[in-house]
């Protein structure tokens, strides 16, 4: 029997690495993709029991992603699982983000997913047409920030809302043409993965300006929230494969956070101004306002 193949971006750490570990346990061929060469090399060294292809790729670059897709096709044929997972974080008041911030975050978080979808979906559909037994699944990593709009992290919010929209549309579009290829969107909350330190891989041609006060505050809050997360990246990877096995679209690491999504949607339905995100924790909101308004 032909081994299945999983393509995983951001495979050097976090959700990507844990998903690769579970894929390997299932005997799948692995295509490990990351922009950080040392992390990728360390990750690839784990997987001696399966066939693995490791590639250093900047997912924001169309030509690098096209070369990746061609290499996958040549080595393994159409993949069975594509996990468009690579992502970076950025915060601060939305008008304080530089053009380089926007280009970096949208390049990785959104265009990385766009490239994965536009390059691998046709390969998967062709495989489905050629083989009635073929089954494929695309998983895009968004965030709860793709369903909410927490303040002081606008660029990230925008990128993840776009991924949710892309993924919902992909799900509907696939349903029009096939029953053999499915899609899911992963919306994690705060989970220790290393994303809060993603500036370590920021490209030199998109340099970060001197951080503003709001950006420093956002970085500190994100570091604290991510490091204190109780759910692990391995826990989330298990949720991803459960969704693949049961063809679930939405994957939530923290379902309790959906209460905020409901409030947001009620704001829309009732034509109500956006609800204070700190309504349940006014002390937190007051402290943030005080820090931002302090001289």
Check pLDDT > 60 for residue 194. Answer: no
CA distance 45 to 196: 25
Check pLDDT > 70 for residue 49. Answer: yes
CA distance 139 to 117: 10
CB 51 within 8 A of CB 28: no
Q: Which helix (H) or strand (E) holds 105?
A: helix 99-105
Residue 259 backbone dihedrals phi, psi, to 5 degrees:
-60, -40
| Rounded average pLDDT over 217-228 | 73
The string of pLDDT tens digits covering residues 237-248 is: 999 999 999 999
Maximum Cα interatomic distance, the chain, rounded to a whole number of Å? 67
Check pLDDT > 90 for residue 203. Answer: no
Q: Which of 45, 176, 47, 164 is nearest to 113 (CA)?
A: 164
Catalytic annotation, pick one of 134, 156, 171, 250:
156
Q: Would residue 247 be called left, alpha or beta, if left means φ above 0 and alpha means ψ between -120 and 50 degrees?
A: left
The rounded mean pLDDT for the chain is 92
- For the beta carbon of residue 142, count every other beta carbon within 10 angstroms: 28
Q: Would residue 271 be called left, alpha or beta, if left means φ above 0 and alpha means ψ between -120 and 50 degrees?
A: left
134 is catalytic: no
| Rounded average pLDDT over 68-82 | 98
> Model pTM?
0.93
Domains and CATH numbers, the chain: 5-253 (3.40.50.720)
Alpha helices by DSSP H, listed for 228-278, are 233-246, 258-269
The position carrying tokens 């690769």 is 20
How many H helices and E strands in the chain? 10, 7
Q: pLDDT confidence of 165, banded at 50, 70, 90?
A: very high
The string of pLDDT tens digits covering residues 97-140 is: 999 999 999 999 999 999 999 999 999 999 999 999 999 999 99
Check pLDDT > 70 for residue 271. Answer: yes
CA 70 vs CA 78, 93, 119, 147, 183: distances in Å: 10, 40, 9, 34, 22
Structure tokens at 98: 């530089």
Residues whose CB is less than 8 angstroms from the CB of residue 63 and which lie 6 or more positions away in sequence, other chains included: none
């Amino acid at each position: 029997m032909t081994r299945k193949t999983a393509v995983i971006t951001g495979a050097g750490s976090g959700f990507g690495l844990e998903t690769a570990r579970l894929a390997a346990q299932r005997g799948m061929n692995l295509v490990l993709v990351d922009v950080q060469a040392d992390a990728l090399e360390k990750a690839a060294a784990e997987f001696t029991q399966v066939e693995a292809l490791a590639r250093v790729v900047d997912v924001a670059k169309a030509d690098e992603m096209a070369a990746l897709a061609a290499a996958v096709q040549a080595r393994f044929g159409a993949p069975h699982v594509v996990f468009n997972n690579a992502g970076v974080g950025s915060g601060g008041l939305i008008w304080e983000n530089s053009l380089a911030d926007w280009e970096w975050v949208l390049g990785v978080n959104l265009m990385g997913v766009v490239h994965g979808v536009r390059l691998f979906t046709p390969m998967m559909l062709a495989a489905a047409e050629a083989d009635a037994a073929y089954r494929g699944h695309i998983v895009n990593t968004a965030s709860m920030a793709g369903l909410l709009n927490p303040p002081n992290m606008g660029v990230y919010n925008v990128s993840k809302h776009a991924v949710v929209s892309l993924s919902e549309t992909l799900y509907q579009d696939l349903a029009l043409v096939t029953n053999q290829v499915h899609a899911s969107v992963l919306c994690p909350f705060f989970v220790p993965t290393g994303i809060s330190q993603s500036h370590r891989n920021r490209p030199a041609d998109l340099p970060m300006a001197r951080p503003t006060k709001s950006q420093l505050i956002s970085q500190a809050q994100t570091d604290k929230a991510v490091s204190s997360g109780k759910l692990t990246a391995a826990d989330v990877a298990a949720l991803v494969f459960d969704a693949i096995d049961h063809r679930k679209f939405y994957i939530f690491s923290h379902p309790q956070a959906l209460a905020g999504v409901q409030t947001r949607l009620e704001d829309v339905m009732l034509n109500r101004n956006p609800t204070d995100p700190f309504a349940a924790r006014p002390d937190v909101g007051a402290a943030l306002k005080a820090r931002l308004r302090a001289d």
